[in-house]
Amino acid sequence: MRDSRTGVVHFGGYYIEVFKSVMAALPYAVPYDFFHFEKPDGSCAGSYNDLIYQVFLQNYDAAIGYITITGNRSNYVDFTLPFAEGGVVRIVPITYEDDNGMWTFLKPTKKELWITSIAFFFATGLAVWILEHRTSSTFRGPPSHHLGMIFYFPFSTLVFAHRERIVSNLARLVVVVWMFVVLILNSTYTASLSSRLTVQRLRPAIADVKELIRKGHSVGCYQGSFVCDTLRGMGFKDSKIKRYRLPEDYKEALTYGSKSDSISTFFYVVPYSKLFLSKYCEKYTIVGPTYRTDGFAFVFSKGSPLVADVSRAVIKLTETDEMLDIQREWSTISDPTCNGPDTTVTSVSVSLQSFKGLFAITGAITSSCVLIFIASYVYKNRSSLQQILNSSVSGVYQQLFLHIEPFFYSIEWALPEVYKDWSLADSYLCHMHQTKDKKIKIK
């Protein structure tokens, strides 16, 4: 930096401090002087590629800065081992998603969780009906009423406490477990939906470079940087790659995204990206993956004997805390306090994976209760079942039908004789078919 009053040039910065520490770590003293790469009028003399070419011409003995190791550059100069991690990232303007669409209420949970929940609603309703329809008057009536209760009962637990009288202990157990499941599902859904409707979230940017290329988006890079060549290698047309020298230029191009000279994203090396975001972190952010490079290193002319010794000194500093101390010092200086966007608040649709254990428990308990009920029913009617098994093949289906039909239409405590003496079943069912919809009252 040149002092405007005295004209004296001051050299400072992260890579300057690293270079000084590396040279101090050499086993011998090496005198050196710093020179700005500039024209006589004080303006920049070119890009890093131009600076490297001057080292190749031996106009300079070495070059320091955020110079990235690339294959093309290594044809002209020698690089030391990297002193900092490299990489290219994408900077985009921050925009927030307005999630108030017509189908927003479906987004809190993923499709597979919706399907599984609805299936368990029906399964629970069917299980409660099987356990209750022979003992509770609420679950009796014409077939349409039976079907209605199967659908109505489990869904009614979502909005209010059920008013239907539950008689069977097995059904009570199923209902208690199901109410616990409904409580968790309802709480999770409400929290997720509230978050979507009340909390601003960063809108997902185009995360795939191929999509940027396919849609013909313009992108930006630093003028003279190797990043521009990298973008061409990715498949971007040269007409879609816009080059900028000053942060204010690409900041304006990113801000006004609807203009013809705007860009959708700016590709920048990691150190400069952090410096840019430290100043404008409330308006811009980094998205997508980091495209790794070989890192930043010092440049020497081909065949320089200093390359090996400087590389060993870099390794020595990297193994100690001195390099970390320099990084912390310059990170504190270059990164002012900036709150930035709240990227920690994200709305993620709840998946089935989070509730597999819950559904497994309620499924196991419900299935066990139904199996216990069926086993108990079979045990009570074991004598009649034995008669069916001993009958002829043609009689098996007839007797089986006569035995199953009372299961759906009879009241357990109102017709004890039918179940105690299976010989009365034929006459009872015959009478039931003759009377059809007439009510039967047996004292």
Of residues 154 and 1, more confidently modeled = 154
Task: Average the pLDDT over 283-291 and give the result.
Answer: 84
Q: What is the pLDDT of residues 221-280, one digit of tens each?
A: 988 788 888 899 889 999 999 988 888 888 888 876 545 678 888 998 888 888 888 888
* Contact of 220 with 243, CB cutoff 8 Å: yes
| 331 contacts: CB under 8 Å, gap ≥ 6 | 274
**Cα dist. 235→55, 267, 282, 429 in Å?**
31, 14, 31, 80
- pLDDT number for residue 129: 87
* Contact of 429 with 406, CB cutoff 8 Å: yes
Backbone dihedral region for residue 87 (phi beyond 0: left; psi -120 to 50: alpha; all else: beta):
left
CA–CA dist 165, 168 (Å, integer): 10
* Contact of 63 with 55, CB cutoff 8 Å: yes
CA 292 to chain centroid: 23
User: Model confidence at 162, in pLDDT bands (50, 70, 90)?
Assistant: low
Q: What is the pLDDT of residues 105-141, one digit of tens each?
A: 888 888 999 999 999 999 998 998 888 877 777 677 6
Dihedral over alpha carbons 118, 124, 125, 128 (to 10 degrees): 180
Task: Average the pLDDT over 364-384 and give the result.
Answer: 87
Is the pLDDT score of 412 beyond 70? Answer: no
Task: Average the pLDDT over 281-303 and give the result.
Answer: 87
User: Model confidence at 409, in pLDDT bands (50, 70, 90)?
Assistant: low
Q: What is the pLDDT of residues 166-208, one digit of tens each?
A: 788 898 899 899 989 989 998 998 888 887 777 656 665 566 7
Of residues 383 and 315, more confidently modeled = 315
| 266 contacts: CB under 8 Å, gap ≥ 6 | 90, 91, 92, 219, 220, 221, 244, 250, 253, 254
- H/E run at residue 241: strand 241-244
> What mean pLDDT, rounded, does the chain reach?
78
CA–CA dist 434, 432 (Å, integer): 5
Its pTM stands at 0.52
